[in-house]
Amino acid sequence: MLLSRLFSKTSKESASDDRSKNADLLTRAGFISKTMAGVYSYLPLGARVLWKIEKMLREEMDKIGAEVFLPSLSPTANWEKTGRLETVGILFQASGANAVSVHTNDARYILNSTHEEIITPLVQQFVKSYKDLPCAAYQIQTKFRNEPRAKSGLLRGREFRMKDLYSFHASEEDMMDYFLKKAIPAYTTFFKRIGLGDRTVIALASGGDFSKEPSREFQTKCESGEDHVFHASGSDIFYNRELTPCHAPAWGNPKEEMRPREDVVGKGIIGVEGLAKFLKIEVERTTKTILFETAKGDVVAAAVRGGYDIDEHKLRQILGTDFSLATPETVKRVTKAEVGYAGPLGLPKNVRVIWDDSTQGRRNFECGANKTDYHSINVNFGRDLPEPSEFVDIKVAREGDLDPKTGKVYEVFKTAEVGNVFTLFRKFSDAFGFTFKDKDGKEKPVYMGCYGLGTTRVMGVLAEIYNDEHGLCLPEQVAPARVHIVAIAKQKEEEAFTVAQKLYDDLTAAGVECLFDDRLEASVGSRLADADLIGVPWRVIVSPKTLEKKNIEVKRRIMKEAEMVSIKDFLKMLEI
Amino acid sequence: MLLSRLFSKTSKESASDDRSKNADLLTRAGFISKTMAGVYSYLPLGARVLWKIEKMLREEMDKIGAEVFLPSLSPTANWEKTGRLETVGILFQASGANAVSVHTNDARYILNSTHEEIITPLVQQFVKSYKDLPCAAYQIQTKFRNEPRAKSGLLRGREFRMKDLYSFHASEEDMMDYFLKKAIPAYTTFFKRIGLGDRTVIALASGGDFSKEPSREFQTKCESGEDHVFHASGSDIFYNRELTPCHAPAWGNPKEEMRPREDVVGKGIIGVEGLAKFLKIEVERTTKTILFETAKGDVVAAAVRGGYDIDEHKLRQILGTDFSLATPETVKRVTKAEVGYAGPLGLPKNVRVIWDDSTQGRRNFECGANKTDYHSINVNFGRDLPEPSEFVDIKVAREGDLDPKTGKVYEVFKTAEVGNVFTLFRKFSDAFGFTFKDKDGKEKPVYMGCYGLGTTRVMGVLAEIYNDEHGLCLPEQVAPARVHIVAIAKQKEEEAFTVAQKLYDDLTAAGVECLFDDRLEASVGSRLADADLIGVPWRVIVSPKTLEKKNIEVKRRIMKEAEMVSIKDFLKMLEI
């Protein structure tokens, strides 16, 4: 690839308003260009990186499934069947665009954000008997998600590339077996090959409401990541924050003398920080009480210590049923107060109060007074409220929280999710009535798994990790080329240029991908800066100075020092 | 690939309601599955074929451009700039899908049907100087077109795969040079490699209203094609029907005695066939007269002999201006009659009448009477109408028409368009204000070309052509595998199976793609029928019978006879 003929160029400034490191570096290096929020064009250097990632992934996936290619457009009816047409907020629809549209009816289609709605009825067409199971199919395809906050460059897009694999099984056991022994190891191998093995952990995360098995997230340690992973010290167990079982560090003196309870006026104060300041108490002394309504119509109050949030996944597991935030009407009916002043005091008997462990061991704490504009302070268990029969874990884990098993503080790090794998059980096969005839002649439901991996996101994470102050330094297996040759000469007739050209031709013929910087009119400084920014693993300079020594100058991108070597020795270094 | 583990299967019936040969064969062979009208899923065997086509195409394109990957979503503003947002009827738009959509505003985007609106401003970002030109970029990407009649299987889809290449030049000459000497030869090479070379011709077609240069269509002879190509006998000139210069075969006797002109009542008769029948005259004696309004507001009457249609491309070239069908109001004002009775008789003097050569040499012909419900018969030039000063060619060519240059009848054949290449001149660069600084320091406009090639359509055309009564027989370079091994045994422990398995393993290890039919429970007949339907080039049978002779049975898909050979000899046949 000749840099003079590459229409894309490096730039001093990232044209993107997205300040993430990957968007900035990949834009400045001329790998990508932002088309609009969350939508990128891949330029020649970037497309090469993306295809290398996808090729390597394809090699691993071919070992455990057959490649297919499913459409982006799908009938709305398929999404109606699974109920997701009206529940998934990031769905895009496609329809005629204008007054001259050839379709005057208002037909609309869904732009697939994921492909369960396509692959399930497709495989159902062919799989009838236990003999046809198990089977697995994957594709690498563009996905569309109408993200409200498309940000972080390639880490969260509205249009992005994803590999999605789906597996189909005759039993839950076989589904678990594939999940644990085929899908997860294939992912692990891929992340190792791509250069993210050392930094990528497998975290337990929510399996969704349909699955009793947690999903597994492949989380790469990365400062700009959106996720937090909690590591149980001394173990190989990692949790996504949402699923981290945790105890709050104890707070307060259980022997503190009980003070008289008071109801204090505090109108319209938002948040526990503001409230604590207003009441001149510690944040930890405040209590956040939220009311929920279950699917059955019961009202539940959930209480956590100030500073914590309620984790709805954990609460769902405890309640064993779906629920939603109580409506303002329900809050008023139950608390006899406006929204914002709910607390555990004097609630109707049929309202179950669930206490998080963070509220344990406190004396003289605060809570909503269930009176408009009022907060109760110096509230105490055993006097103002019955001593709770149990304290449970319904909070979103925070840094400093303890692993309940060991009592040790979790190690917490920021991560970017690069893959996730789910056991779907019968969610989709039930929706489509997908059954098979088993050996015993009976129709039985199919079990499914799905396994996602964003290839453009992987590219973004690689850029986040493999860089230094001069630019990118992607690993050799994904870099846009292996060798970057810079010819320093005034004219193409000079020996420095012809030697460089020959090296480029010879390496290319030997199957070594090269960038050849043949832009003699540009300054040497800017051309070397470009080489650093693009970050190809090996940089070669051919100049009158290097030729004097019958040598070329070779520098590895990740090393500080360059060295003069002969072309023959350089070929040895490349192992060709 | 083990057939037992391939979830997709062959089927006796095409599930598709599309009766085209390619949809039927590819569906029955388990290569594709229709998701909805014009939208297909590619199953494991089909995805392999598609990737092979795209790989080969990539190899040819890499020689003349750099690969990029552009998004499917684009801002509507880009399409407004080129004016196509409100003129292209097949555009899809994407917007939030439902009531829970995360975007409450009504933001909408265009799903690209082609990528000039993306690539032009993208390349504009980087190309500033004559030194940056020429350059060319291509991609292979999914395209979305809201086709009113998605049909013919993979030949006309609403979602399909396309390679689109764009080139950028400092001058018209350079654009023409790339167009003729790089793009067209690269296409020719590709079609040869893919197996369509012998049947594919380069036809001249309309360049669009922006281009004085005709576009070139790569048209493959194919019975189910939608196009007709006219071949000027004894030359290598081919025309798309729309651009075919033609003379109608002479009709009528110029010496026929003139009969008295009459106006005959004939109310609401639709079409010249019906009219001829009603008037008891030959269709050729009737005249079709259509009124148009030019962009300047002039009214023009265009007349062709019954049986012909008016070719608006030709008419546009003669008028040298844009025009549209006259409105009913204009027709009434000019003819003093309702729509349907227009003719050349007694039109206002400012209405120019354009006579097609097909109307020449007739006596006693019919035409509209410009009186509601009336048709004039026995009309004659020189008596009822002035002898036209010239007869021109404004008709859609028909089979039997003559090449005006040679006077010979055109050879006409049905074709499917597999690629087309356009000179865009300044249409898109002007819309985006894309200029460059030339050597003389002046800003000059960029010239562009665009070059399309539908890869899924090529797959469809290959299926249309390479088949026989038993199924597909795709050429080796695009078939889903090279060898199809059928093991005939009762159990996997039998020698026939283990020999077949070893052959499969050895060939796979040697890089030869194989399908291995390991479905021992299925009947031999159905398995051999499957092998024919899928149509892999080499079929190998291993059975107790073949083993008796220490041999395998080898049959080429395109040959009638099978032969017994040793495995060693078979490897020689495969040239490995």
pLDDT in tens, B189-208: 999 999 999 999 999 998 87
Cβ of residue A508 closer than 8 Å to a chain B Cβ: no
Q: Is A118 helix (H, G, I), strand (E, B) or coil?
A: helix
**Rounded distance, CA A475 to CA A472, Å?**
10
**Rounded distance, CA A335 to CA A343, Å?**
8
Give residue A212's pLDDT band: very low, low, confident or very high (50, 70, 90): confident
pLDDT at A196 over 90: yes
Give residue A15's pLDDT band: very low, low, confident or very high (50, 70, 90): low
Task: Inspect the interface and report whether the beta carbons of B102 and A42 lie closer than 8 Å.
Answer: no
* Residue predicted with more confidence, B436 or B339: B436
Q: Is A189 helix (H, G, I), strand (E, B) or coil?
A: helix
Helices B21-28 and B455-465: crossing angle in degrees, nearest 10, is 90
Supply the DSSP string of B168-223, one letter for each residue: EESSHHHHHHHIIIIIHHHHHHHHHHHT-GGGEEEEEE---TT-SSPEEEEEEE-T
Task: Taking residues B485-490, report their average pLDDT.
Answer: 96
> What pLDDT score does B500 carry?
97
Residue type, A74: S
Task: Inspect the interface and report whether the beta carbons of B7 and A66 lie closer than 8 Å.
Answer: yes
> What pLDDT score does B103 carry?
58
Q: Is B50 helix (H, G, I), strand (E, B) or coil?
A: helix
**Rounded distance, CA A555 to CA A562, Å?**
4
> What pLDDT score does A477 carry?
97
**Rounded distance, CA B477 to CA B155, Å?**
21
Contact residues on chain B for A97, CB-CB shorter than 8 A: 85, 88, 91-93, 108, 110, 146
Which residues on adjacent β-strands are paired with residue B454?
Answer: B162
HSE, CB side, 13 Å, CA atoms: give it for residue B115. 28
**Rounded distance, CA A142 to CA A122, Å?**
19
Contact residues on chain A for B135, CB-CB shorter than 8 A: 5-7
pLDDT at A461 over 70: yes
Sort residue A539 into left (φ over 0), alpha (ψ -120 to 50) or beta.
Answer: beta
Residue of B nearest to A30 (CA): B126
Q: Provide ipTM, 2 decimals.
A: 0.92
Task: Taking residues B514-535, report their average pLDDT.
Answer: 95
**Rounded distance, CA A229 to CA A21, Å?**
21
Supply the DSSP string of A194-248, one letter for each residue: HT-GGGEEEEEE---TT-SSPEEEEEEE-TT-SEEEEE-TTSS-EEEGGG---BP
> What pLDDT score does B19 carry?
75
Domains of chain A: 14-73+112-245+413-463 (3.30.930.10), 262-392 (3.90.960.10), 481-573 (3.40.50.800)
Cβ of residue A110 closer than 8 Å to a chain B Cβ: yes
Q: Do residues B144 and B112 lie in contact, with contact meaning Cβ atoms separated by under 8 Å?
A: yes
Contact residues, B window 166-205, toward A, CB-based 8 Å cutoff: 168
pLDDT digits (tens, 9 = 90+) for A462-515: 999 999 999 999 999 999 999 999 999 999 999 999 999 999 999 999 999 999
Q: Do residues B419 and B218 lie in contact, with contact meaning Cβ atoms separated by under 8 Å?
A: yes
Closest Cβ opposite residue A68 in set B47, B96, B158: B47
pLDDT at B98 over 90: no
Residues 6+ apart with CB under 8 A from A493: none
Task: Inspect the interface and report whether the beta carbons of A71 and B39 lie closer than 8 Å.
Answer: yes
Task: Inspect the interface and report whether the beta carbons of B103 and A148 lie closer than 8 Å.
Answer: yes
Task: Inspect the interface and report whether the beta carbons of B33 and A158 lie closer than 8 Å.
Answer: no
Cβ of residue B42 closer than 8 Å to a chain A Cβ: yes
> What pLDDT score does B15 carry?
57
User: Which residue, among A479, A495, A477, has the nearest Cα to A503 in the 3D structure?
Assistant: A495
Q: Which stretches within A260-327 are classed as H helix?
A: 271-279, 312-319
pLDDT at A210 over 80: no
Contact residues on chain B for A159, CB-CB shorter than 8 A: 71-73
The first and second tokens of residue A19, run together, are 């300040």
> What pLDDT score does A107 carry?
79
Q: Which residue has the tokens 């846009």?
A: A480
Q: Do residues B506 and B537 lie in contact, with contact meaning Cβ atoms separated by under 8 Å?
A: no
Task: Inspect the interface and report whether the beta carbons of B99 and A87 lie closer than 8 Å.
Answer: no
| Total residue count of chain B as it appears in this document | 576
Separation in Å, CA of B95 to nearest CA in chain A: 5
User: Which residue, among B314, B289, B290, has the nearest Cα to B393 in the 3D structure?
Assistant: B314
Alpha-carbon Rg of chain A, whole angstroms?
A: 30
Cβ of residue B125 closer than 8 Å to a chain A Cβ: yes
The first and second tokens of residue B546, run together, are 């073949």
Cβ of residue B375 closer than 8 Å to a chain A Cβ: no
Separation in Å, CA of B413 to nearest CA in chain A: 29
Residue of B nearest to A87 (CA): B100
> What pLDDT score does A98 carry?
78
A-B contacts (CB, under 8 Å)? 216
DSSP class of residue A181? I
Alpha-carbon Rg of chain B, whole angstroms?
A: 30
Q: Is A123 helix (H, G, I), strand (E, B) or coil?
A: helix
Residue type, B347: L
Task: Inspect the interface and report whether the beta carbons of B92 and A96 lie closer than 8 Å.
Answer: yes
> What pLDDT score does A291 carry?
96
pLDDT digits (tens, 9 = 90+) for A511-563: 999 999 999 989 999 999 999 999 999 999 999 999 998 789 999 999 999 99
pLDDT at B550 over 80: no
User: Which residue, among B427, B444, B450, has the nearest Cα to B171 in the 3D structure?
Assistant: B444
The first and second tokens of residue A92, run together, are 């895009």
pLDDT at A270 over 90: no
Closest Cβ opposite residue B7 in set A15, A109, A126: A126
Q: Which residue has the tokens 């005839």?
A: A437
Residue of B nearest to A50 (CA): B69
Cβ of residue B37 closer than 8 Å to a chain A Cβ: no
Closest Cβ opposite residue B89 in set A35, A87, A100: A100
Residue of B nearest to A10 (CA): B126
**Rounded distance, CA B11 to CA B22, Å?**
15
> What pLDDT score does A294 carry?
94
> What pLDDT score does B99 carry?
72
Q: Do residues B35 and A118 lie in contact, with contact meaning Cβ atoms separated by under 8 Å?
A: yes
Q: Containing H/E element for A468?
A: strand A467-468
Percent of chain B at pLDDT > 70 equals 98
Sort residue B6 into left (φ over 0), alpha (ψ -120 to 50) or beta.
Answer: beta
**Rounded distance, CA A259 to CA A163, Å?**
61
Measured CA to CA in angstroms, residue B94 lies from A69, B164, B343 at distances of 21, 22, 47
pLDDT at A425 over 70: yes
**Rounded distance, CA A332 to CA A341, Å?**
10
Q: Do residues A85 and A110 lie in contact, with contact meaning Cβ atoms separated by under 8 Å?
A: yes
The lowest-confidence range among A10-24, A198-212, B356-370 is A10-24
Give residue A150's pLDDT band: very low, low, confident or very high (50, 70, 90): confident
Strands (E) across A393-446 are located at 411-425, 435-437, 443-445
Task: Taking residues B132-137, report their average pLDDT.
Answer: 96
> What pLDDT score does B322 carry?
87
* Residue predicted with more confidence, B17 or B455: B455
**Rounded distance, CA B246 to CA B21, Å?**
32
Q: Which residue has the tokens 């055993």?
A: A382
Q: Containing H/E element for B429?
A: helix B427-432
Contact residues on chain B for A521, CB-CB shorter than 8 A: 131
Contact residues on chain A for B47, CB-CB shorter than 8 A: 67-69, 139
Q: Do residues B22 and B154 lie in contact, with contact meaning Cβ atoms separated by under 8 Å?
A: yes
Q: Which stretches within B44-85 are classed as H helix?
A: 44-62, 76-81
| B388 CB-contact burial (10 Å; exposed 0-12 / middle 13-18 / buried 19+) | middle
Task: Taking residues A435-457, report their average pLDDT.
Answer: 98
User: Which residue, among B83, B217, B176, has the nearest Cα to B425 in the 3D structure?
Assistant: B176
Q: Do residues A66 and A137 lie in contact, with contact meaning Cβ atoms separated by under 8 Å?
A: yes
Closest Cβ opposite residue A70 in set B41, B102, B135: B41
Q: Which residue has the tokens 């080039």?
A: B537
Closest Cβ opposite residue A69 in set B6, B42, B521: B42
Separation in Å, CA of A374 to nearest CA in chain B: 35
Cβ of residue B8 closer than 8 Å to a chain A Cβ: yes
Task: Inspect the interface and report whether the beta carbons of A96 and B100 lie closer than 8 Å.
Answer: no
**Rounded distance, CA B436 to CA B444, Å?**
5
User: Which residue, among A161, A158, A160, has the nearest Cα to A36 in the 3D structure?
Assistant: A158
pLDDT digits (tens, 9 = 90+) for A313-354: 899 889 988 899 999 999 999 999 999 899 999 999 999 999
Q: Which residue has the tokens 């400062």?
A: A223
pLDDT at A444 over 60: yes
Neighbour tally for A198: CB within 10 Å: 10
Q: From the centroid of its chain, how far is CA A179?
A: 19
**Rounded distance, CA A107 to CA B548, Å?**
63
The lowest-confidence range among A547-551, B468-472, B473-477 is A547-551
Task: Taking residues B233-238, report their average pLDDT.
Answer: 92
The first and second tokens of residue A327, run together, are 């409506």
**Rounded distance, CA A78 to CA A109, Å?**
10
* pLDDT, mean over chain A: 94
pLDDT at B106 over 70: no
Give residue A5's pLDDT band: very low, low, confident or very high (50, 70, 90): confident
Task: Inspect the interface and report whether the beta carbons of A109 and B44 lie closer than 8 Å.
Answer: no
Task: Taking residues B140-148, report their average pLDDT.
Answer: 93
Residue type, A511: G
Residue of B nearest to A69 (CA): B42
Cβ of residue A441 closer than 8 Å to a chain B Cβ: no
Q: Is A75 helix (H, G, I), strand (E, B) or coil?
A: strand
* pLDDT, mean over chain B: 94
Residues 6+ apart with CB under 8 A from A66: A135, A136, A137, A138, B1, B5, B6, B7, B8, B44
Give residue B210's pLDDT band: very low, low, confident or very high (50, 70, 90): low
Report the 3 state secondary structure along B485-546.
EEECCCCCCCHHHHHHHHHHHHHHHCCCCEEEECCCCCCHHHHHHHHHHHCCCEEEEECHHH
**Rounded distance, CA A309 to CA A258, Å?**
27
